[in-house]
Structure 1
Amino acid sequence: MDCHNYITVPPERKRGQHLGREERGAIQQLKKQGYSLRAIAREIKCSPSTILYELRRGTPLRKSHRGRAPEYSAKRGRAVYENNRLNCRRPHHIDRCSDFAAWVAKQVRTKKWSLDACVGYAKLHGRFALSEMVCTKTLYNEISSGNLPLSLFDLPEILKRKQRRKIPRQHKRLKGRSIDERPEIVALREEFGHWEADTVVGRKRGQEAVVLTLIERVTNQYLAIRIPGKNSVAVNHAMEELRAEYGDLFGKVFQSITADNGSEFEDFAKLEDWGTSIYFAHPYSSWERPVNERHNGLLRQYIPKGVSIEKYSPEEILFFADELNSRPRKRLGYRTPEELFEAFLDNLYAA
């Protein structure tokens, strides 16, 4: 009777494959029959050195010159092999970096820093010796393996899904000059004084306070101002307060501002009378203001979606912005936005 589901031809042995139970049993029998190392290797289809190492593993040491010489045992060879496999894995570098790991966990929990910001800041300021640190990728791998006192929920940015860019929709009327008219130097992030603006809401329904946010594209300096409502009057009043703070230098600090087409920016183009160029992104194209959108997402670490802004005082909103400005950034060479912005202001006032 034919058995179509069974074969008697053993599968071809792959190069570099470890010895199995059947192969060790074959080595034991061939050795008893007096086969040489090379003859056994031809039968097993492996390197003669593999047979030599296996015979050394499976043959116990001779304790005296009396009696018969110890013989190879496939069972002993398998036991030694499995014991060696327990110790052959590469050790975790995080085990010798306990102080660095504890510091990273503290920065992530208390200051909400990213893992890369922790690594870059520690290297820049020489906080730890290089031998006492691990790289950013290793930190992420150790978190996934559960070897750090952190979870993925302590780093919500990991869980965010990637956004795809969409083709701009043109059917909505722009409230001023289009972003297409903006100078190319703004996109290059080489000149100080170009900002992006938006608003962050708490509850979508109801008339309540919102947060007006602005961010400078070169230094990543982030301004967050609590305003009483999502309307053009509140937005323009907040900008008037900023103008009073910077005085005659307002037009140099705020050379241009790029906003979206929300109703709160209906009269935003009036700021051009103060020497600031105002541009509007294409409708439904938030990716044209990437820096601002990114930092609004970071602000959500302090103001979760659905939570009313009325619960936070203006001082608390300013504190949240200061926390973001004190975080080291990879794009800034692991310096903080606040120190770069202060340096730019010093140069501006000196001039």
Structure 2
Amino acid sequence: KRYKADQGQSVYQINRCHCGRKSAFLKKAGFINYVIKHFFEEGWSLDVCANRSLATGEFSHYQTVCTRTLYNYVDQGLMTIKNYDLPEKLKRNTKLHHVHQNKKKLGRSIEERPKEIEQRSEFGHWECDLVLGHKTKDDQVLLTLSERMSREFLIIRIPDKTSASVMQAFQMLQKQYSEHWNDIFKTITTDNGSEFADL
């Protein structure tokens, strides 16, 4: 019932040795030699080697590895087959370039904020955040703005926490303060939440 640190550490180290995926490369040497032989002598692709060995019954499923694993072995330099022996692989662009539509746009770091803002000596520097209720789907959201020097506080109710709703609230504010906007809102600091991505 007592815990002993030394014994606990030794048990942890033993368990750590047994965890993680083990490479099947050494256990499947017969199949690897079969692949290398037919690749160089018959000109078979790695895919043909993997599938034909199963189809002809020369190897069971437990004695082989899949095509993807064979390519990984080539990349890791475990086989005598090299990437330059695979002309199709060098020609083919296997990486698909997806454009991430929802990629997070991070704003400037708070470290770049002018030091005079920290001293609260000038009016017009605001901090902004969202306040969520119970975080249910149809719950109301409050956009809060706090002025650092005067501690003036603005609260605007918005329908949800999307960046579109936040932008709509700011556009409404800008219209409300019109020509005084730049005097009242000199800087606005937010966190890097996705709701402020469009600011």
| TM-score, normalising length: structure 2 | 0.46
Q: More helix by proportion, 1 or 2?
A: 1
Q: More strand by proportion, 1 or 2?
A: 2
Higher alpha-carbon Rg: 1
